[in-house]
Structure 1
Amino acid sequence: MIRVGISGWRYAGWRGVFYPPGLPQRRELEYAAQRLTSIEVNGSFYALQRPSTYRAWAEQVPEDHLFALKGPRYITHMRKLVDVEAPLATFFASGPLTLGHRLGPLLWQLPAQLGFHPERLASFFDLLPRRTSEAAALAQAHHDPTKLKEPPDTTSPVDQPLRHALEVRHDSYRTPEFCELLRAHDIGMVVADSAGQWPMFEDVTSDLVYVRLHGDTELYASGYSPRALDRWAEKVRAWDAAGLDVVVYFDNDARTHAPFDAIALQERLGITPATHA
């Protein structure tokens, strides 16, 4: 599986540039999903969403579209992965399982100030459900109803695997022990290109390669040149040839480069939304 998409879709600066003039805001997700094979949800990082929101998103995208979800910053940035069983359960009770087969990998992004703590990471990894049925059971047993804006919804139309990826931004993770820990827990290491702002790791630690492209030469702002896109296409083909699943999300949203770069990479890989190779 290869999927290419964008990190978030609701940006005012995209209107009239990527989104056609006059397109209603409520149809922006539909428009983006018709042109890209996957979308990474950023809103789930900033705040708990509602079950009705997830159901509405699922209804607006093609049958075979894939959502990646970014785990809540309350877990990664505020609690820093400590004592997070209840917040994790509340996240799953907030509705993501209602996406069913459209639910893809879960991204956990750590703050740049958080260094390598192997015991803390291992404890967090042990909490992560590996199937939607496990996530539903966790949510039913431990969620905090006072944190939810709607009644919980822990139902899933399908029982399927859940895969997780970790993005880190501190130099202390440059150690073989970190890679070994991810492999032992079957957690994908995020390949994050940040114009040199943070370290980039390309070690393969699971059967999922999760790529985030934050900007080629300027963080969040610069586009990717044709030559840069050719290089990333070559990397994706190599991972695919090795039998790995690959998801790629462009996060260089500041000047509307992300959706156009994503479409250009899809074209290089011979992928269209109708032919998710």
Structure 2
Amino acid sequence: MPADLFTPDAARDDAVAAPHGIRVGIGGWVFAPWRDNFYPRGLVQRRELEYASRHLSAIEINGTYHGPQKPATFARWAAEVPAGFVFAAKAPKWIVTSPRWRAQTAAARRFLEGGLEELGEHLGPVLWQAPLGHRFDRDDLAAFLDALPRTLAGRPLRHVVEVRDPSFLCADYLALARTHGVATVITDAPDYPNLADLTAGFAYLRLMRSRAGEACGYPAPELDAWAARARAWAGGAAPDDLPRVAPPDDPPAAAREVFVFFIGAAKARNPAAAMALIERL
């Protein structure tokens, strides 16, 4: 969708399609280097979400990680995006950086019930990002996952855990996550464990290898490969070219929803990477 179809004086009302149930986006929408790059020259900052949501099919909210948001803020964000667009919400850092997640169950519930319901149909998965050095503790994680609500204002809640320590690369973790129906982030990153084992009925990818020297962040062959993998997951299959902890189970008959976010690395290139992947899909 060319940028010149959206000007500071004329909004688009249509949403980017999510072919095969695959949604593609970026982390956040406020980033100065995206101006006069992803965002057209002259676009006022208050309309950046409006623009981004008409060129991508999902955004991972960064603001929920850094500080509390008011219900009115969530309602305003929901009003600015088109039908079919989805937000993923990143859980607050004061919860996920705690060495004992089971001590944060009340705080987690307050976060989930503190206004997210105002996103309505635009609310997608909630991401719980374990920090570097946070090791797998089965009892601690089990108590936390047991306490997470599975619905919010009558809508199903989907949870995702991002692991950043090799201690999670074990069958015990996979079994625990699958028992609770909690997804595990599939990461393309140089510094974190990469595993493609699915632990829920949807797939959640965070791709972190954008390069500043690539106009679309990722080289074309890598984007082609990620498009093929996303289509495989969406169709119920399991790509065989990524690291796994365990062999894949028999593929389910039902299709899966897939979320792909280009995060970090050469961040200025991430919107271009997302749009290039959407074009391939």
TM-score surpassing 0.5?
yes
Is residue 2:155 matched to residue 1:160? Answer: yes
Which of 32, 49, 73 is the equivalent residue of 2:93? 73
3-state SS of 2:193 partner? coil
3-state SS of 2:103 partner? coil
Shift of 1:71: 0.7
Shift of 1:80: 4.0
Find the aligned partners of 1:179 and 1:94 in 2 and give their Cα distance. Answer: 30
Shift of 1:128: 0.9
3-state SS of 2:156 partner? coil
* Paired amino acid for 1:107: L
Question: Is contact 1:223–1:252 with CA below 8 Å preserved after alignment?
Answer: no
* Paired amino acid for 1:170: D
Which of 55, 65, 69 is the equivalent residue of 1:49? 69
Structure 2 counterparts to residues 122-271 of structure 1, below 5 A: 122-133=142-153, 159-194=154-189, 196-216=190-210, 223-242=217-236, 243-252=255-264, 254-269=266-281
3-state SS of 2:186 partner? strand
- Greater relative contact order (Cα 8 A, min sep 6): structure 1 or 2? 1
Shift of 1:216: 4.7
Distance 1:216 1:20, change over 3 A: closer
* Paired amino acid for 2:128: W
Please, what TM-score do these two structures have when normalized by structure 1? 0.83
3-state SS of 1:234 partner? helix
Question: Is contact 1:77–1:110 with CA below 8 Å preserved after alignment?
Answer: yes
* More displaced 10-residue stretch of structure 1: 26-35 or 173-182: 173-182
Which residue is 1:32 aligned to? 52
Structure 1 unmatched runs, 5+: 134-158, 270-277
Question: Is contact 1:190–1:211 with CA below 8 Å preserved after alignment?
Answer: yes
Percent identity reads: 41
Across the two proteins, how many residue pairs are aligned to each other?
A: 241
Which residue is 2:241 aligned to? none
Find the aligned partners of 2:134 and 2:89 in 1 and give their Cα distance. Answer: 21
Distance 1:163 1:255, change over 3 A: closer
Residues 39-70 of structure 1 show CA distances to partners (whole Å, capped at 9, x for unaligned) of 11011011111111101101110021111000
Find the aligned partners of 2:163 and 2:264 in 1 and give their Cα distance. Answer: 18
Structure 2 unmatched runs, 5+: 1-20, 237-254
Shift of 1:258: 0.7
Which residue is 1:117 aligned to? 137
3-state SS of 1:252 partner? coil
Residues 201-259 of structure 1 show CA distances to partners (whole Å, capped at 9, x for unaligned) of 100111110000112569xxx92111110110011011011122100011136441111
Distance 1:8 1:253, change over 3 A: farther
Distance 1:53 1:173, change over 3 A: same
3-state SS of 2:185 partner? strand
Is residue 2:23 matched to residue 1:3? Answer: yes
3-state SS of 2:258 partner? strand
Find the aligned partners of 2:183 and 2:37 in 1 and give their Cα distance. Answer: 34
Structure 2 counterparts to residues 82-101 of structure 1, below 5 A: 82-101=102-121
3-state SS of 2:233 partner? helix
Please, what TM-score do these two structures have when normalized by structure 2? 0.82
* Paired amino acid for 1:131: T
Find the aligned partners of 1:79 and 1:62 in 2 and give their Cα distance. Answer: 39
Q: Which stretches of structure 1, 4 residues or longer, exceed 4 Å deviation after superposition? A: none
Find the aligned partners of 1:181 and 1:30 in 2 and give their Cα distance. Answer: 39
